[in-house]
Structure 1
Amino acid sequence: MRAPVLGAILCLALVQTPAEAAGKEVRLAYVEWADAVVATDILKQVLEEKGYQVKTIPLAAAAMWQAVANGDADASVAAWLPVTQAAYYEKLKNRLELIGPNVTGAKIGWAVPASSPLNSIEDLKTKAADVDGKVIGIDPGAGLMKSSEAAIKAYGLPVKLVDGSDATMTSALKDAIRRKQDIVVTAWTPHWMFARYELKYLADPKKVFGEDESVNTLARKGLKDDMPEVYKILTKFKLTVKEEEAVMAENEEKGADHVANAAKWIKQHRETVDGWLK
């Protein structure tokens, strides 16, 4: 009888790994914005330390929220509130769990080179020609784009909001700075462009873009019960604006490996990470 009993004990030991379900897949949804890539990379590697298989799912913002609400994703650390993605939250708040901020002191708005004579959004009423009558935007449907459309209307501006992506927006910014031309871009903090270039936000006296934002962690309903260890890590996962911007800037270097940069951050902030894992 000893052999079967011993075998059963060994099988049980194999099941009861440090993670409550070693090898179990965790699905993380995110928007392919520079800050979300950094946060998701770091969280993925931290969860992998605990024995989880982690699948990252890049989506548009609306689809990211929907994926968590539907249970197609377990969590996301890329939800901007209270303004940028407020519409998604209001629509889906009863179908998912808002764990809370993982980055505070975030901000959205319009940015220009620090040398620009533009200081306020209102300046564009008379100086739109200085930027070719355009505000260079990101992906259509993003909360920042909706706020930008509201700003154009609220301030009565003779400008066109140009759809694009994070990559096309930053490319246009880089080109304008190289040519020493003025430009207005949709912007948010944390973002690597603030670490790379001297920029300033245009004042928003009407507060169309709101006050400070936070980047939040979302979880699907039931995650706390299904994966308590994952849920606990999510509640502790937090980064600072400066930390994210530093890694984002590294990721933009030629030949950069964003996975390796996340691993380096974890190594350099081992005490912080260990705190998430306790």
Structure 2
Amino acid sequence: MKKLFITLMTITMVSILAACGSTEEGSAENEASGEKETITLGVTPWTSTVPPTEVAQLVIEDMGYNVEQTQADVASTFMGLSGGDIDAYMDSWMPVHEVYFEKYSDSIEDTATSYDDAASGLVIPEYVEGVNTISDLKGNEDKFGNTIYGIEEGASATEELRDLIEEYDLDMELVPSSEGGMMAQAQKDMSKEKPVVFYGWRPHTMFNKFDIKLLEDEDGFFESASVHVVTNKNLEEKAPDVYNFLSNWSISIDDVEEMILKIEEGADKKDVAKEWIENNKDKIDNMRQ
């Protein structure tokens, strides 16, 4: 029995040492091959999020990282950023998203500004006469079916719209939906030249495709926004070259709208991103310095 016990212990120790050697060998191989960590990018269900995220993914992959995308609403995206499940988010709207920075200030960082002058607010078709401001909706609510169409629950803009309805004392109900659902309803009404009011913003192809106007917001609910890159505070340590690239990130609102339009017309989103990178090599090189 004693000999059997010693034999079994010997086999066990040999197995453990072999396993450790295998692990160390694997780690050495990973280091030798330059294999890097996975970078996760948050993606909200808005067309404006897609082009910058696709461009960022291609550039980060070119640095040698694996890149994954996590689809979520904006509230969940910021929660993921805070917890480290998401490393970066390319489409944070300020000042609308300030509430998330206040909530997660210890764990997230406002890393760069993508572009400024991103207008947003309530829009209506140009053929609707006599309504040019949000105040003009008062007394005309029935013309619009007493309805304002908006984007998904969880978006900061959705709560802003509810506050707007109350502040302007409008006899209207907000109907939240996905961006696609909202635009489908608006397009349906506009095809019949019916009055319709819905949430609009740039960058978005709605301003290229439809003859619409942004209602003047006298109370300043939707001031001109700037779009930012947000990262988890650990990204600089985890992947300093990626953090450096994102901290230098910028893109024009016109370029984003042009890419959105190409994607909506059927082009592959990765091909569109590759084309933009090819046309902006010097800009990308400067971001990576």
Q: TM-score, normalised by structure 1?
A: 0.89
In the TM superposition, residue 147 of structure 1 has moved relative to its aligned partner by 0.7
Q: Which amino acid aligns with 2:115?
A: V
Query: Match for residue 106 of structure 1?
Result: 118
Query: Match for residue 20 of structure 2?
Result: none
Instruction: Determine whether 1:256 maps to 2:267.
Output: yes
In the TM superposition, residue 60 of structure 1 has moved relative to its aligned partner by 0.6
SS of match in other structure, 2:140: helix
Q: Who wins on radius of gyration, i.e. which is larger?
A: 2
Cα distance in 2 for partners of 1:208, 1:186 equals 12
Name the CA shift for 1:271/1:13 in 2 (closer, same or farther; >3 Å).
farther
Query: Match for residue 242 of structure 2?
Result: 230
2:256 to 244, 247, 256: 244
Instruction: Determine whether 1:40 maps to 2:53.
Output: yes
Query: Match for residue 3 of structure 1?
Result: none
Instruction: Determine whether 1:161 maps to 2:174.
Output: yes
Cα distance in 2 for partners of 1:244, 1:116 equals 29
Q: Would you say the 8 A contact 2:127–2:193 is kept in 1?
A: no
Point out the more displaced range, 154-163 or 94-103: 94-103
2:282 to 257, 271, 276: 271
In the TM superposition, residue 263 of structure 1 has moved relative to its aligned partner by 1.4
Q: Which amino acid aligns with 2:85?
A: D
In the TM superposition, residue 196 of structure 1 has moved relative to its aligned partner by 1.9
Cα distance in 1 for partners of 2:213, 2:242 equals 38
Q: Which amino acid aligns with 2:273?
A: A
Point out the more displaced range, 168-177 or 226-235: 168-177
Cα distance in 2 for partners of 1:219, 1:112 equals 35
In the TM superposition, residue 176 of structure 1 has moved relative to its aligned partner by 2.0
Q: Would you say the 8 A contact 2:203–2:256 is kept in 1?
A: yes
SS of match in other structure, 2:85: coil
Q: What stretches of structure 1 of length at least 5 have no aligned partner?
A: 1-10
Q: What stretches of structure 2 of length at least 5 have no aligned partner?
A: 1-26
Q: Which amino acid aligns with 2:113?
A: P
SS of match in other structure, 2:114: strand
Q: Would you say the 8 A contact 1:108–1:144 is kept in 2?
A: no
Q: Which amino acid aligns with 1:28?
A: L
Q: Which runs of 4+ in 1 moved over 6 A?
A: 11-14
Pairwise CA RMSD: 1.8
In the TM superposition, residue 53 of structure 1 has moved relative to its aligned partner by 0.9
Name the CA shift for 1:13/1:105 in 2 (closer, same or farther; >3 Å).
farther
2:105 to 93, 99, 102: 93
Q: Which amino acid aligns with 1:187?
A: G
Query: Match for residue 134 of structure 2?
Result: 121
Cα distance in 2 for partners of 1:127, 1:169 equals 21
Cα distance in 1 for partners of 2:267, 2:279 equals 18
